[in-house]
Amino acid sequence: MNTIHHFVNGKKFSGDSKRVGKVFNPATGEQSAEVKLASTQDVNNAVDNAKKAFETWSNKPPLQRARVMFKFKELIEKNSDELTKIIVSEHGKVYEDAKGSLTRGLEVVEYACGIPQMLKGEFTENVGSNVDSWSIRQPLGVCAGITPFNFPAMVPMWMFPMAIACGNTFVLKPSEKDPSCSIKLAELLKEAGLPDGVLNIVNGDKEAVDALIKNKDVVAMSFVGSTPIAKYIYENCAKNEKRVQALGGAKNHCVVMPDCDLEQAVNGLMGAAYGSAGERCMAQSVAVAVGSIGDQLVSLLSKKVEALKVGPGMDKQSEMGPLVTKEHLAKVKDYVDIGVKEGAKLVVDGRNFKIQGYEKGYYIGGCLFDHVSKNMRIYKEEIFGPVLSVVRAKNFDEALSLVNDHEFGNGVSIFTRDGDSGRTFSSKAKIGMVGINIPIPVPMAFHSFGGWKRSLFGDQHMHGPEGVRFYTKLKTITSRWPSGSRTDPEFVMPTMK
Ligand code: NAD
């Protein structure tokens, strides 16, 4: 059995812990590896190495740090097929989708290549007479990241390229369900010239997470995962005096207006609800049919959901792969049962889906509910599977209220041909990322990614300009070089005369 170790101080690290987790290939249901689960001591060891590396890495000119990122970008491109296959083998998503997610991570590396420009700071000559003032942003120290299973390349790359380019060192704890991609990325960064100890990977579960939270040398924490854990991370990192950004779960709505191009909306919804088997934090799990469009929308959707090609991620014909684990498959099926019991109309039922030759894989067909109402659990809770709920709304205002009253606020979109509806919606929606005729409005690397309400705890979004702010602290220097007569002591607040 292949064992996945940690990666600390530039090399494989086995650690003291004897605990291991199991990693599966979701397409076949077979165990592919065991992964080490770090002890507190293993985590502290990684942090100690990161702390030591910070002394020299933080003093490297930003241009030199950028050059490592340029080289890293080349290596990711060169190794993209291998990285993509690793994602498919442990996550299950289809090859082209996995490759796309790798590219979205790569784009953050490309953004990080411009770090010398972003760290330039601001200068004012003569803030007072012969007094100058300037502001700079300095790295924080050892930063940590905890990431979810659903984007094993992209989400870690929202974090560590930005943190490292800003001059910090990093300890990443990826999801124990699909840990291999992070190890490969760390090896490539080493090959790109990153000094040992700047990026460290510890594999593990709650014990490793709690060790990172308690370690005083970890000064900032980035988290992406479900809302209960995001809240736990936010509260406990604050208690331990750390800077924290904790991104949580979602229930993204797609508002379908009666005036929209319906074919465009249906195609958009298909990709957004069933792509990656619905295991995306920006997946659309609720379609709000406004006015008279509901019956037509459901009829078109149902035909496409029934025709969805579900199969192993490496099969070029597959549009949707399996779910990540057996437990997750059971949870998603349970939600479909709950929806039926709650009285929603199950228009397409994917629960009994099976593929010959892959009977042990974690497959479910696409599921479509109609007449879902806002008091149902399938509407309120995140299912994180290929289950789309259609809710009927009388008009635009009712649709907007549904969006704004929901506890989550990650992404939302509206399909309409009416500029006024689109503009009003984007202005009034209490949601972090809004799409107008765009089904999955994920911001590019040079903008920033983050939700509102219970989809993000903390102040700053990920990557882009917010990423630079999160991974640096501001210092403002005021200086004068008086010559000749010395001034007398002043006992009042200095002000501009
Ligand atoms: P999860 O919350 O179960 O796990 C995330 C990370 O937290 C993992 O590294 C895991 O090991 C760790 N963890 C799990 N339980 C813990 C505990 N009790 N104490 C401490 N650490 C713990 O999430 P997941 O199932 O891996 O990922 C799916 C979730 O992530 C969904 O809710 C999805 O919406 C969310 N997500 C959000 C975004 C976003 O940008 N908002 C992006 C991707 C995924």
Ligand 1 centroid – CA 226 distance (Å): 4
Domain identity same for 268 and 399:
yes
Domain that holds residue 299: 252-436
Domain identity same for 269 and 166:
no
Ligand 1 centroid – CA 144 distance (Å): 15
Domain identity same for 31 and 87:
yes
CATH at 473: 3.40.605.10
Asked if residue 234 has its Cβ within 6 Å of ligand 1, the reply is no
Active site residue 281: yes
Domain identity same for 14 and 140:
yes
Q: Is residue 483 part of a domain?
A: no
Asked if residue 458 has its Cβ within 6 Å of ligand 1, the reply is no
69-118 pLDDT, tens digit each: 999 999 999 999 999 999 999 999 999 999 999 999 999 999 999 999 99
**In the Cβ-directed half-sphere of 258, how many Cα atoms lie within 13 Å?**
11
Residue to probe by mutation, ligand 1, list 159, 175, 223, 454, most atoms within 8 Å of CB:
175
Asked if residue 182 has its Cβ within 6 Å of ligand 1, the reply is no
- Atom number of ligand 1 nearest to Cα 176: 11
Ligand 1 centroid – CA 113 distance (Å): 28
pLDDT for 485: 66
Domain identity same for 147 and 240:
yes
Q: Give mean pLDDT in consecutive 10-residue pieces for the chain, a chain of 497 residues.
A: 96 96 98 98 98 98 98 98 98 98 98 97 94 97 98 98 98 98 98 98 98 98 98 98 98 98 98 98 98 97 98 97 98 98 98 95 98 98 98 98 98 98 98 97 96 97 97 97 77 79
Query: What's the gap between Cα 270 and its chain centre?
Result: 21
- Atom number of ligand 1 nearest to Cα 249: 34
pLDDT for 497: 65
Ligand 1 centroid – CA 149 distance (Å): 7
Three-state DSSP class for residue 180: helix
CATH at 345: 3.40.309.10
Number of independent structural domains in the chain: 2
Measured distance CA(399)–CA(472) in Å, rounded: 40
Ligand 1 centroid – CA 222 distance (Å): 12
DSSP states of 34-64 as a string?
EEE---HHHHHHHHHHHHHHHHHHTTS-HHH
The dihedral over CA atoms of 441, 446, 452, 456, expressed in degrees to the nearest 10, equals 120
Find the catalytic residue in 181, 260, 281, 367.
281
Domain identity same for 138 and 154:
yes
Asked if residue 410 has its Cβ within 6 Å of ligand 1, the reply is yes
User: Six-digit token pair at 94?
Assistant: 């289809």
Domain identity same for 308 and 191:
no
CB 28 within 8 A of CB 360: yes
pLDDT for 105: 98
Three-state DSSP class for residue 307: coil
Q: Is residue 450 part of a domain?
A: no
Asked if residue 285 has its Cβ within 6 Å of ligand 1, the reply is no
Measured distance CA(394)–CA(109) in Å, rounded: 45
Domain identity same for 133 and 268:
no
pLDDT for 496: 72
Q: Is residue 39 part of a domain?
A: yes
- Atom number of ligand 1 nearest to Cα 147: 9
User: Six-digit token pair at 70?
Assistant: 């340029």
- In angstroms, the Cα distances linking 206 to 19, 91, 149, 175 are 12, 20, 14, 11
Domain identity same for 44 and 87:
yes
Residue to probe by mutation, ligand 1, list 226, 284, 381, most atoms within 8 Å of CB:
226
Ligand 1 centroid – CA 420 distance (Å): 37
Q: Is residue 316 part of a domain?
A: yes
Compute how many other C-beta atoms are within 10 angstroms of the C-beta atom of residue 79: 17
Three-state DSSP class for residue 24: strand
Asked if residue 250 has its Cβ within 6 Å of ligand 1, the reply is yes
Measured distance CA(497)–CA(481) in Å, rounded: 19
Domain identity same for 374 and 304:
yes
Ligand 1 centroid – CA 250 distance (Å): 12
Asked if residue 225 has its Cβ within 6 Å of ligand 1, the reply is yes
Domain identity same for 383 and 291:
yes
Closest by Cα among 48, 84, 451 to 211: 48
Measured distance CA(134)–CA(477) in Å, rounded: 5
Asked if residue 95 has its Cβ within 6 Å of ligand 1, the reply is no
User: Six-digit token pair at 239?
Assistant: 């208690």
Q: Is residue 488 part of a domain?
A: no
Asked if residue 224 has its Cβ within 6 Å of ligand 1, the reply is yes
Residue to probe by mutation, ligand 1, list 37, 90, 93, 149, most atoms within 8 Å of CB:
149
Domain identity same for 119 and 228:
yes
Residue to probe by mutation, ligand 1, list 4, 43, 150, 236, most atoms within 8 Å of CB:
150
CB 344 within 8 A of CB 12: no
Ligand 1 centroid – CA 283 distance (Å): 15
CB 442 within 8 A of CB 433: yes
Measured distance CA(160)–CA(222) in Å, rounded: 10
User: Which residues partner with 144 through β-bridges?
Assistant: 171, 221
The dihedral over CA atoms of 28, 34, 39, 44, expressed in degrees to the nearest 10, equals -90
Asked if residue 228 has its Cβ within 6 Å of ligand 1, the reply is no
> How many percent of the chain have pLDDT more than 90?
96
Asked if residue 198 has its Cβ within 6 Å of ligand 1, the reply is no
Asked if residue 279 has its Cβ within 6 Å of ligand 1, the reply is no
- In angstroms, the Cα distances linking 90 to 27, 70, 176 are 9, 28, 10
Asked if residue 464 has its Cβ within 6 Å of ligand 1, the reply is no
pLDDT for 492: 86
CB 221 within 8 A of CB 33: no
402-457 pLDDT, tens digit each: 999 999 999 999 999 999 999 999 999 999 999 999 999 999 999 999 999 999 99
pLDDT for 271: 97
**β-pair type (218-224, 142-146):** parallel
Task: Spell out the residues 6+ positions from residue 178 whose beta carbon is closer than 8 angstroms to its own.
Answer: 23, 87, 90, 91, 149, 152, 324
Measured distance CA(279)–CA(168) in Å, rounded: 31
Q: Is residue 494 part of a domain?
A: no
Residue to probe by mutation, ligand 1, list 104, 155, 229, 233, most atoms within 8 Å of CB:
229
CB 98 within 8 A of CB 150: no
Q: Is residue 444 part of a domain?
A: no
Q: Is residue 496 part of a domain?
A: no
